[in-house]
């Protein structure tokens, strides 16, 4: 469990550090797992974004249990958000309403479950949200290529830096970004994925980048949300494309 009592004294240089959200899933009071996520706003409402397999404890594609020895479906989560001073605050959210209906908003492609879900946040008392901008106009103009470096911001193995801030990991784009992997809007990253890293937001942060019209050089690094980190192995990790997720996020209720 990430320690939320810690505080930090230094100025936060990268806003993405405040945007990362630590998640711990429970079945009643029994811990099920840890993961990463982030918050967006859609139609003015805040939503926690993470992976399907995080909130269901099953493989999104096969529906097999992730932990065959436990076989517990989470029904609530604890998340680390931030107060007005940027300090970590632990909040709880139910995954089902009082009628037992799931609060998780899902999506699918031709019957295949998309491993990205949204959970509306019901308790933001005393919280200052740091939502990720998922519809940056640059997204449609960027020209990405293999070997471009991206940053995965989350909590691998449930680890954090001081103040419950995330761990930054980087990886190179390892497949042609215009192509889909596994028949889904996925890009491969040359990165070793770890449990707990699932649901992390992935960013391009660069002072130099290509767009459809020109090579751009900025005096400071530009940050663009490129998607959500999902499953991985010792060779590569999966990035669900922001260009696909945009319409899903826009339609959240």
Q: What is the pLDDT along the chain (253 residues), one digit of tens a residue?
A: 454 554 555 577 789 999 999 999 999 999 999 999 999 999 999 999 999 999 999 999 999 999 999 999 999 999 999 998 888 999 999 999 999 999 999 999 999 999 999 999 999 999 999 999 999 999 999 999 999 999 999 999 999 999 899 999 999 999 999 999 999 999 999 998 899 999 999 999 998 888 888 887 776 788 999 999 998 787 899 999 999 999 999 999 9
Closest CA to 58 of 92, 25, 30, 36: 25
CATH number, domain containing residue 59: 2.40.10
Is 50 part of a structural domain of the chain?
Answer: yes
Torsion 36-40-46-52 (CA) sign = negative
Helix (H, G, I), strand (E, B) or coil at 235: coil
Taking the mean position of all CA atoms in its chain, how far away is CA 128?
18
Is residue 97 located within the same domain as residue 166?
no
> Where is 17: in which H helix or E strand?
helix 16-19
Is residue 152 located within the same domain as residue 116?
no
Overall domain count for the chain: 2
Is 69 part of a structural domain of the chain?
Answer: yes
Work out the number of other CB atoms within 10 angstroms of the CB of residue 46: 18
**Beta strands at 117-120 and 112-113: parallel, antiparallel or unpaired:** unpaired
Is residue 109 located within the same domain as residue 148?
no
Q: Which of 91, 120, 149 is the last residue of a domain?
A: 120
Is residue 116 located within the same domain as residue 40?
yes
Is residue 151 located within the same domain as residue 78?
no
Is 7 part of a structural domain of the chain?
Answer: no
CATH number, domain containing residue 235: 2.40.10.10
From CA 203, how far away is CA 241, in angstroms rounded? 11
Taking the mean position of all CA atoms in its chain, how far away is CA 176?
22
Q: Contact at 8 Å (CB) between 33 and 57?
A: yes
Is 190 part of a structural domain of the chain?
Answer: yes
Is 129 part of a structural domain of the chain?
Answer: no
C-alpha distance from residue 247 to each of 78, 99, 180 (Å): 27, 29, 17
Q: Which of 72, 93, 120 is the last residue of a domain?
A: 120
Retrieve residue 195's tokens: 């449990």
Q: Give the structural domain span for 45.
A: 16-120
Is residue 75 located within the same domain as residue 144?
no
Is residue 113 located within the same domain as residue 156?
no
Is 3 part of a structural domain of the chain?
Answer: no
Is residue 113 located within the same domain as residue 148?
no
Q: Contact at 8 Å (CB) between 204 and 148?
A: yes
Is residue 67 located within the same domain as residue 150?
no
Quote the DSSP letter at residue 243: H
Q: Which of 120, 145, 170 is the last residue of a domain?
A: 120
Is residue 97 located within the same domain as residue 20?
yes
From CA 252, how far away is CA 151, in angstroms rounded? 26
Helix (H, G, I), strand (E, B) or coil at 116: coil
Is 128 part of a structural domain of the chain?
Answer: no
Is residue 141 located within the same domain as residue 237?
yes
Q: pTM of the prediction?
A: 0.94
Is residue 38 located within the same domain as residue 115?
yes
The helix, strand and coil proportions of the chain, stated in percent and rounded to the nearest 5, come to: 10, 45, 45
Is 37 part of a structural domain of the chain?
Answer: yes
């Amino acid at each position: 469990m990430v320690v939320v009592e810690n505080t930090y004294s230094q100025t936060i240089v990268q806003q993405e550090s405040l945007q990362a959200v630590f998640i711990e899933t429970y079945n009643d009071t029994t811990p099920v797992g840890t993961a990463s996520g982030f918050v967006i706003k859609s139609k003015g409402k805040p939503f926690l974004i993470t992976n399907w397999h995080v909130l269901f404890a099953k493989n999104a594609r096969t529906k097999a249990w992730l932990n065959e020895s436990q076989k517990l479906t989470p029904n609530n989560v604890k998340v680390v958000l931030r107060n007005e001073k940027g300090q970590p605050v632990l909040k709880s959210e139910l995954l089902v309403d009082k009628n037992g209906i799931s609060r998780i908003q899902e999506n699918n492609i031709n019957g295949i479950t998309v491993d990205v879900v949204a959970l509306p946040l019901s308790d933001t008392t005393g919280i200052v949200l740091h939502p990720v901008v998922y519809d940056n106009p640059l997204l449609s103009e960027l020209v990405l290529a293999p070997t471009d470096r991206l940053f995965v911001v989350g909590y691998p193995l449930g680890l954090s830096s001081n103040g419950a801030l995330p761990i930054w990991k980087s990886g190179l784009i390892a497949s042609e970004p215009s192509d889909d992997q596994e028949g889904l809007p996925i890009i491969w990253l040359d990165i070793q994925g770890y449990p707990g890293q699932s649901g992390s937001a992935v960013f391009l942060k660069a002072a130099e980048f290509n767009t459809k019209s020109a090579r751009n050089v900025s005096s400071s690094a530009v940050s663009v949300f490129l998607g959500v980190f999902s499953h991985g192995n010792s060779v590569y990790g999966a990035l669900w494309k922001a260009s696909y997720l945009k319409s899903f996020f826009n339609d959240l209720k």
